[in-house]
Amino acid sequence: MAKIKLTKNEQKKQKDSLKRFQRYLPTLILKKQQLQMVIRKVELQVEEKESAIEKIETSLKQWIRVFGENEIFDVNALGEGFDGIESLVVIKSIKKGRGNIAGVDIPVFDGLEYEDVYWDLFKAPLWIDRGVTVLKDLAVLNAQIEVLREQKRLLGHELRVTTQRVNLFEKVKIPETKENIRMISIYLGDQQTAAVVRGKMAKNKVVKVS
């Protein structure tokens, strides 16, 4: 604990600091609770999207079996460099916006931009279109999870900082300031008592001299 001046000015300064800490602490606690709730919500969204991916991947297996069992289909019909249906969905970029939660700037998923990939609609089997749609659904879900995890990272960092500040105020600043006020009050009280005693002693001496 830093050494403080045992004066009335210092006492006022410490009381002002205490009021400021006690006024600011509830705001910090509220922000901490809000961040915890939002992080949990983000975690649930990730779990939901991972579950959706699992269901889609299960349904996708039947499309892959159809592709594998189709001996008549000419793979060259989809163009040069075709390497499985996955090569028909190529992500160019993830489009992101910006949001703000509890004072934290976070990325927000705005969509995907794909490379232009063409195939012969007349030569390719009908299930190719459905397969491409499913793969794009998967790509969107995976991109959303990536953005959500980035949100959680940023919110988690802010939560750690806010928790540190709450602990600083609750466990250090407020108790320390209260102790400073108590020490100054005791000292000033002792000084006042001593002054009264000295005044009485001086008065008694004057009376005796008279």
Q: What is the mean pLDDT of the chain?
A: 84
Report the pLDDT value the prediction gives residue 71, as an integer from 0 to 100: 46
Contact at 8 Å (CB) between 28 and 169?
A: yes
Judge whether 90 lies within some domain: yes
Tally of structural domains, the chain:
1
Judge whether 136 lies within some domain: yes
Average pLDDT over residues 43-62: 90
Judge whether 200 lies within some domain: no
Judge whether 96 lies within some domain: yes
Domain ranges, residue 93: 21-187
Report the pLDDT value the prediction gives residue 1, as an integer from 0 to 100: 53
Q: What is the pTM of this model?
A: 0.77
> Which has the closest alpha carbon to 111: 98, 101, 97?
97
Report the pLDDT value the prediction gives residue 72, as an integer from 0 to 100: 45
* Percent of the chain whose predicted confidence (pLDDT) is above 70: 75
Q: State the pLDDT confidence band at 34, using cuts at 50, 70 and 90.
A: very high
Query: How far is it, in rounded angstroms, from Cα 88 to Cα 136?
Result: 10
Report the pLDDT value the prediction gives residue 129, as an integer from 0 to 100: 76
Judge whether 198 lies within some domain: no
Q: SS3 of 139, please?
A: helix
Q: State the pLDDT confidence band at 53, using cuts at 50, 70 and 90.
A: very high
Out of 26-35, 159-168, 185-194, 195-204, least confident range: 195-204
Judge whether 199 lies within some domain: no
Average pLDDT over residues 151-158: 97
> Which has the closest alpha carbon to 129: 67, 199, 204?
67
Report the pLDDT value the prediction gives residue 3, as an integer from 0 to 100: 80
Judge whether 141 lies within some domain: yes
Report the pLDDT value the prediction gives residue 10, as an integer from 0 to 100: 93
Query: How far is it, in rounded angstroms, from Cα 161 to Cα 158?
Result: 5
* CATH for 65: 1.10.287.3240
Judge whether 173 lies within some domain: yes
Asked if pLDDT for residue 207 goes beyond 60, the answer is no
The alpha carbon dihedral of 48, 51, 53, 56 has a sign of negative
Q: Which has more confidence, 182 or 88?
A: 182
